[in-house]
Amino acid sequence: MSDDTRNVGTPDRDRINVHEAYELQYWTNALGVSADELRAAVDAVGPVAAKVRQHLGK
């Protein structure tokens, strides 16, 4: 069975996957940051949304 890219589900609100375009779009909008800023934050503190928010001061 092939992947249906139209059926992506909802992003996991506890973790940030910067390798999925729909999650990257969701989180950059939700946090008001650029994709590069989000990737840097995830690199610094890991993918847990609460830690990323804290790191970004959100």
Residue 35 has pLDDT above 90, yes or no: yes
Taking the model in full, what pTM does it have?
0.76
For residue range 24-34, list pLDDT tens digits in order.
Answer: 999 999 999 99
The residue type found at 48 is V
For residue range 1-25, list pLDDT tens digits in order.
Answer: 445 566 555 556 789 999 999 999 9
> Could you state, in order of their start, the residue ranges of all structural domains in the chain?
21-56
Whole-angstrom Cα distance, residue 37 to residue 53? 12
Q: Say if residues 57 and 37 touch (Cβ distance below 8 Å).
A: no
Orientation angle between helical segments 35-45 and 49-56, nearest 10 degrees: 110
- Exposed/middle/buried for residue 42 (C-beta within 10 Å: 0-12, 13-18, 19+): buried
